[in-house]
Copies of this chain bind each other. A is one copy, B any other.
Amino acid sequence: MSSRSTSSSESILSRRMQTMSSSAIRDLLRHSKIPGMISLAGGIPAPDLIDTEGLEAATFRAVESARNTTYQYGLTEGEMFLREEIASRMVAQGISAEPDHILVTSGSQQALDIVARAFLDEGDSVLVEEPTYLAALQVFDMAGAQTLVFQGDQYGIDFTRLESLVANNRIKLMYLVPNFSNPTGTTLPLPERTKLVEFAIRHDIMIVEDDPYGDLRYDGEHVASLFEIAEQSFNSKNRVIYISSFSKTVAPGLRLGWCIPPESYFHSLCRAKQSMDLHSSTLSQYIAGYYLKSGRLDGRLQLLKKAYKCRRDALIKAISEHLPDALELNVPDGGMFLWGRFANGLDASLVLQQALSHHVMFVPGKYFYCEIPDLSSVRLSFSTITPSLADEAVKRLAIAIQRTEQRETQE
């Protein structure tokens, strides 16, 4: 009987689960544990820049001052204490949010999943940038939705294409990372944000504005969020779901993000979350709350911005020295990623193979595409690459490129 069960076991998975492949990036990241490996592949905050001292203090405070609640069940929507802190930060950024209408989530990943579940039926369509955040694509895929791509990178948005997509599909959501996007690092300019909001209002599409990197700007001026634009320029409070996270600025290990939906959807999103995990870790919420209350975050952000800008510039400098012609770069104003293309159509996956054997790694850009991948594209994360490491990382990359070119020529 046991063997019969084994042989039929694959078939009882849901259809979407059967076709869902393992995340290639996740598989790739296992290599980052190899001793001596320099990884430009991750998207993690630098471990050396996490405010462990401040977090420890917040943890102790959470434990001591909230003894009766810290370890107990909490509200699905989150602890009011934390939501008030989030609201005041949001308001300072031009996003008018009442604490009552902020939903605390288990990372922004869960916020995406909640939104997908609350809004998407099988066969619905979601507009996404091409390339875009891989884990968002997985969420939409799990929800049975179809993703339709529009270009949102340095070449600007093709509104003609958007209009034709709308004419031919039942589109419910539009997903984008407007600030220092993952993977391209691009920031959407204000005029295009305004046009997108106008477009979404005209076609009754809900915008999902995913903004985990917004606090990490190194150059240029803050650009108003789509949430703010909708409210200020179009008097619309029903058009944008704003999502952000503490993972890039405070600590990913707390697994805390938040979601600000239009008020009329707040309770539906809560119900979806309730069935998913009842609520997020009470202790994590108290720690984040006390950390924000301590006032250390703004100072930490200054430090993070200075350090990451330095790392970005060091990596760019090393690339311009060691790879002057081999890699075209898109220089971001913030966030964690350089995006580039190998010259002469060199296949990034082949370069990666060589790179791994020379103890350097990155993510081939093709994984971030839904439709037609650019096989030469690469994502290089600079967040964990100290300036002293940048030179060595790029030298190894240069060797890997050279070896790949030699192989290509030989074949």
Q: Which residues of B contact A113 (CB under 8 A)?
A: 275-277
Shortest distance between the CB of A295 and any CB in chain B (Å)? 19
A255 / chain B contacts, CB cutoff of 8 Å: 106, 277-282
Listed residue (A113, A122, A277) with the most chain B CB atoms within 10 angstroms of its CB: A277
Cα distance A274–B25 when bound, in Å?
12
Do most interface residues of chain A lie in helix, strand or loop, or is the interface mixed?
Answer: helix
Give Cα A310–Cα B74 distance, bound, in whole angstroms.
26
Q: How far is the CA of A13 from the CA of B14 in the complex (A)?
A: 23
Q: Which residue of B lies closest to A55 (CB)?
A: B71
Cβ-defined partner of A278 (8 Å) among B2, B107, B278 = B107
Contact partner, A12, options B17, B76, B206, B283, Cβ 8 Å? B206
Copies in the complex: 2
Are the C-beta atoms of B47 and A119 separated by less than 8 Å?
no
A88 beta carbon closer than 8 Å to chain B: no
Is A121's CB within 8 Å of the partner chain B? yes
Taking residues whose C-beta sits less than 8 angstroms from the other chain, chain A's interface range is: 35 or more
Stretch at the interface among A147-155, A246-254, A312-320, A401-409: A246-254
Assuming the A-B contacts A206-B12, A277-B277, are A20 and B271 also in contact, with contact meaning beta carbons closer than 8 angstroms in the complex? yes
Interface status of A164 (Cβ within 8 A of chain B)? no
Given contacts A5-B201, A109-B275, 17 further A-B contacts (CB under 8 A): A9-B238, A17-B118, A20-B268, A22-B271, A23-B274, A55-B71, A70-B253, A71-B251, A73-B247, A73-B253, A110-B276, A135-B274, A135-B278, A139-B275, A142-B275, A255-B278, A281-B283
